[in-house]
Amino acid sequence: MNSPSGQPSIELFGITIMEPMVTFTDLWITAVCIYAFIKLVKLNKPGKVHQYMRWYFFVMGLATFLGGILGHAFQYAVGLEWKLPGWLISMLAVMAVERASIMHAQPVINKTFGRVLEVANVVELLTFAVITFTTLNFFFIQVHSAYGLGLVVLPLHFLVFWRTRNKASRAFVLTVLFATLAAFFYTSEIGLGIWFNHLDIAHTVMAISMYTFYRGTVILEVMKPEDILEEKGTFISAVKDLFKNQKTNGAIQK
């Protein structure tokens, strides 16, 4: 059976599974997300930021599970339109991590700007959801993720890191930068062969990214006024500090 990625199908117990490794690596992301969700629920940190991050992992886990099962393994049976549930639910996950980032950055951004970001958060979700639903084109899922992670999560957490040298925000910034590799492998279609193709590599990058997001969430704390540095330094110095494994100030310092 031909698959969109060219990965051969296999048969288990008389059931045909299309793109088996792509399915497996999708479910790998699911496993990391559910693990993170369970651990964070047990940790039970208070506040809306942590609430949104718990939802992020749960919703992304659900999205990648549906994506693996309906979008890859049994797409031949259900049709292309059944990719939509995983796609649309993943957009909700991106919305959740955007929301968490906006709330985390509130001590260092203008309140009006924060409200604008919150409204834009909803508007861009609805816009891209409608476009994706009507076109059935994964490209718009990529654009939505690029906007959410690249233009909201990344700059907000970098700003927080610049102003506070916050350890959790450092983890988020580095994770988003690393996650761009997934988009590179997906668009370039560079793989290691038919049994570990570009989708498998992209999914593996995403699974690692989910775990590092989780590690950042574990140390994420509500910032206090005293955490904001009087001398934040230059942009270049902040970038240099970003790539240094150093202790940080404030309540999150261990």
Contacts of 217 (CB under 8 A, 6+ apart): 36, 40, 50, 53, 168
What's the Cα-to-Cα distance from 92 to each of 10, 89, 99, 157, rounded to whole Å?
Answer: 32, 5, 10, 20
Using pLDDT thresholds of 50, 70 and 90, give the confidence band for residue 253: very low
Q: Please, are residues 20 and 75 in contact by the beta-carbon 8 Å criterion?
A: no
Q: What percent of the chain has pLDDT over 90?
A: 49
Q: How high does pLDDT run on average in the chain?
A: 88
Q: Which domains does the chain show, CATH number per domain?
A: 15-252 (1.20.1070)
Using pLDDT thresholds of 50, 70 and 90, give the confidence band for residue 252: very low
What tens digit of pLDDT does each residue of 98-134 get? Answer: 999 999 998 888 888 888 988 998 998 899 889 888 8
State yes or no: pLDDT of 156 exceeds 90.
Answer: yes
Map tokens 């930021």 to a residue.
49
Cα(116)–Cα(183) distance, integer angstroms: 28
Which letter, b or e, does each residue of 218-232 get, where b requires 16 or more Cβ atoms within 10 Å of its Cβ? Answer: bbbbbbeeebbeeeb
What tens digit of pLDDT does each residue of 198-221 get? Answer: 999 999 999 999 999 999 999 998
Kindly report the pTM of this predicted structure.
0.88
Tokens at 145, concatenated = 């993720």
DSSP-derived secondary structure letter, 53: H
